[in-house]
Amino acid sequence: MPLRQPGRLLGLAGAGLLLGVVYFVFDPARYPFPRCPLNLLTGLYCPGCGSQRATYALLHGHVAQAAGLNLLAVASLPLLALGAADGIWAALTGRPRRAALLYRPWLAWLVAGLTVAFAVLRNLPGPLGSWLAP
Partner 1 sequence: MEQSYNPNPNAGFGGMNPGGPPPKNWLVESILVTLFCCLPFGIVGIVNAASVNSKYAAGDYAGAQQSSAAAGKWTKIGFFIGIGVGVLYAIAMFMGIGSGIMAGMAGRQY
Of the candidate residues 15, 25, 63, 101, the single one contacting partner 1 (CB under 8 A): 101
Give dist(CA 46, CA 35) in Å, integer.
Answer: 12
Is 10 a binding residue for partner 1 by CB under 8 A? The answer is no
Give dist(CA 117, CA 43) in Å, integer.
Answer: 18
Choice between 3 and 40, CB closer to partner 1 = 40
Helices (H), the chain: 4-25, 37-42, 51-59, 63-69, 71-93, 105-121, 127-132
Residue ranges that bind partner 1, judged by CB under 8 A: 29-30, 32, 34-40, 46-49, 51-52, 70, 72-73, 76, 79-80, 82-84, 86-87, 96-105, 107-109, 111-112, 115-116, 119
